[in-house]
Structures are given as C-alpha cells and as structure tokens.
Amino acid sequence: MFKVLVTGSAGFIGFHLTDKLLGLGHEVVGLDSINDYYDISLKYARLNYHGINVTNILENKINDSKSHPNYRFIRSDIANHDFIVNLMEYEKFDYVINLAAQAGVRYSIENPRVYTHSNIDGFLSILEGCKKSNVKHLIYASTSSVYGLNELMPLTEDHITDHPMALYAATKKANELMAHSYSHLFNLPTTGLRFFTVYGPWGRPDMALFLFTDAILNNREIKVFNYGKMIRDFTYVGDIVESISRLITVPAKSDSNWDGLSPKSSSSSCPYQIFNIGNSSPTKLNDYIVALENSLGKKAKKVLLPMQMGDVPATHASVTRLENYISFKPATSVQNGVDKFVKWYLEYYKISSNTK
C-alpha cells in the first residue's frame, strides 16, 4: 500500500480515481479548491460520497472521512504555493497525481488569467513540492487539445504540439515543458497524460453529454456544433482511472534510445514520458447523440450550428505506447459508457423512467 496525493479530488476524474485508490486500500489525501466554475453542489456530493463532511470544510484544514479511515480531504488552491510545498514536505507522499486545473477550452477565451493562475502557477507549486519531498512519481493531466492544428490521424505522442488553438491547451503544453525541466534538473520522474474527451457518471455539467441529457429530458433543443460532423475519441472515465492506477507504480525512466540529434517528444534522456489515454475509436458527434437517444428512449431536438472558436474538427488517439507500457487500453464502447452515465444521471437527479 502507498500514500498518494490526488489534487482535484472533488472533480470528475479526481473523484473516480480517489474511489479506485481507496478501493485498493491505499492511503489517499485529496485536495481541491472547490471553485465555482460549475455547480459546487455536485463537487460537495462527490466528497460526501467518500464520507467527507462538507459542512466542516475550511480552507487549509484536513477533514477526515467518516467512512474511509485512510482518506483525508483538504480544501486549498494549488496556487497557494507555500502551503502546498509545506504540505508535501510534511506528508511525504509516495506518489502525486495532479488533476487540479482550470478546465474548459471555450472558457479560456473569456477568462485567460484563471488558466495561468491554476494551470501554470498551481502546477509550479506541485513541481516544487515534489522536488522538495522526493516524490517517487508525479503523474499530471495534460489534454488532447495540445495537438491543436495537427490533422494527421491517429494522433501519437511524438506528433508536433506547437500549434494550440486556445489558451487552455497552451497551458497544458506548458505543463509538459515544465515537467520535463524538473525531470531533467532534479531527476523527478514525471508522466503526462493527454486525455481524450472524458465522459461518464459524476461528469462535468459543462460537458456535452450532461448538457444534452438535461435538454432532451426537458424537451429543449440541443446545440450541435459543426453540424454534428465533429469526430471525438470519447473515452469512458473508468478506462482513464484504470490507466492511471496502473501507471502510478511504474514511474518514468530515462529512455536509453533517446537521441538528441533526432529527439522524440514522448520520452527523454531524463525520467519523463507522455501518454495518450483515449478510446482509439473515433465517433461522430451525431452518433454520440444517437447513443444518448437510445439510452434515454427519447429523440433530441437538434439545432445544427457551425464550428465554435477554439474547437478542433477531429481527435483520434493512438494508444500503442500506453498499451505496451501497462498492458491495458481503453475499450468501453460509447453506447455502454453512455448507458452508465444515463443510469447515474437519473438516479442522482431522482428522475423516474416514465418521465423520459
């Protein structure tokens, strides 16, 4: 068993990872700022699910779980530099998984400073804390958005990522570069994970699946951008979490075949690596909507619209490196994953099947 810090533990992926690690018997300290980017009641519900008394959550105070003796929660902003570094030095975590970040492509167009605060300043706090506390392995969330204008499919970890289409992607690319510098200077093993369109139960209300489900159930129109022709590598959250849990104890190592005259961006001469985590099964947005209609037993009222600013027309992950490294690849079908989301949604919002 090991001791791990999970930042963003009140978030979508962080919640599921915390649940996975607790189920395996590990000691987990969760940390989250609980910002109001989306409905904080959902974040509190995730914490309550793991026995955290949300009425007692105070800034910088540790909150012990009522149902998991090996789980504690701290409310803090990762950009609170001194607190984060001191916490990590004191706790002596074996591993750190940084999932705390300001998410959302379109939101970054209107609110750029929020992204540099969380995704740049906050990530620096994590790197410094890892360095000073001799963490065995830092895993951090990157994004498929770093591929930007790249149109060569499937996307591999060695493709150029120098043309981001929004500041969100640029900050995540910066995270990869920052991690490499710490791996090189301080021999800190770091693994960056480029997530591809994650969905599933307890998901974010600003994501398409959540928005579409709410609209369809309430007989409202849904906005379908790029006329439904967008292609996404929709990846079920359970596959994301399984991948992370397998990666934790196999930290990055120096690539003995790495060549500075012909450098690869997926690995390095220092303990640094990058992986895609995607379903490797690209799906048209229209087909994603059909899966939701099947699960709800109800047709959507679509408003077809052109592409939004900052969006890419298609994503398709190559996960060969991941599969070779951990003997696992995401494989949950879209219909199966959407069914699981809808089941959770109806139960969480107490919607009876006869109202669909």
**What distance in Å separates the CA atoms of residue 50 and residue 153, rounded to the nearest whole number?**
40
- How many CB atoms are closer than 10 A to CB 212? 23
pTM: 0.95
What is the reported pLDDT for 62? 72
Beta-bridge partners for 190: 138, 272
- Classify residue 284: in a domain, yes or no: no
Residue labelled with tokens 């399984």 = 242
- Antiparallel, parallel or unpaired: β 95-98 and 71-75: unpaired
How far is CA 45 from its chain centroid? 19
Please state the rounded mean pLDDT for residues 1-29.
97
In this structure, what token pair is assigned to residue 247? 């990666």
Using the Cα atoms of residue 138, residue 19, residue 11 and residue 161 in order, give the sign of their dihedral: positive
In this structure, what token pair is assigned to residue 315? 């994503």
Query: Per-residue pLDDT for 112 more than 90?
Result: no
- Classify residue 295: in a domain, yes or no: no
Range with the poorest average pLDDT among 51-55, 266-270, 286-290, 324-328? 51-55
Q: Of 240, 343, 220, 336, which Cα lies nearest the Cα of 288?
A: 336
Question: What percent of the chain has pLDDT above 90?
Answer: 85
Question: Any catalytic annotation for residue 168?
Answer: yes
Q: Of 172, 87, 73, 174, which Cα lies nearest the Cα of 125?
A: 87
Please identify which of the residues 168, 199, 272, 288 carries the catalytic annotation: 168
**What distance in Å separates the CA atoms of residue 168 and residue 117, rounded to the nearest whole number?**
12
DSSP state of 204: -
pLDDT tens sequence across 33-74:
999 888 999 999 999 999 998 877 755 567 888 899 999 999
Please state the rounded mean pLDDT for residues 223-249.
96
What is the reported pLDDT for 60? 54
- Classify residue 20: in a domain, yes or no: yes
pLDDT band at residue 307 using 50, 70 and 90 as cut-offs? confident
- Classify residue 289: in a domain, yes or no: no
Query: Per-residue pLDDT for 250 more than 60?
Result: yes
**Collapsed DSSP state (helix, strand, coil) of residue 52:** coil
Which residue range(s) make up the domain with 113? 3-203+235-279+317-331
The continuous run of DSSP H or E covering 177 comes out as helix 167-186
pLDDT tens sequence across 164-174:
998 999 999 99
- Classify residue 188: in a domain, yes or no: yes
The CA distances from residue 225 to 91, 301, 303, 307, 347, in Å, are 46, 13, 8, 5, 29
The CA distances from residue 80 to 83, 84, 132, 253, in Å, are 6, 6, 16, 30
Question: What percent of the chain has pLDDT above 70?
Answer: 98
- Classify residue 345: in a domain, yes or no: no
pLDDT band at residue 211 using 50, 70 and 90 as cut-offs? very high
- Per the structure, how many domains does the chain have? 1
Looking at 297-333, list the stretches that DSSP marks H as alpha helix, in order from N- to C-terminal side: 320-326
- Classify residue 267: in a domain, yes or no: yes
- Classify residue 167: in a domain, yes or no: yes
What is the C-alpha end-to-end distance of the chain, expressed in Å?
A: 44
Backbone angles phi, psi at 160, to 5 degrees: -65, 135
CATH code, domain carrying 145: 3.40.50.720
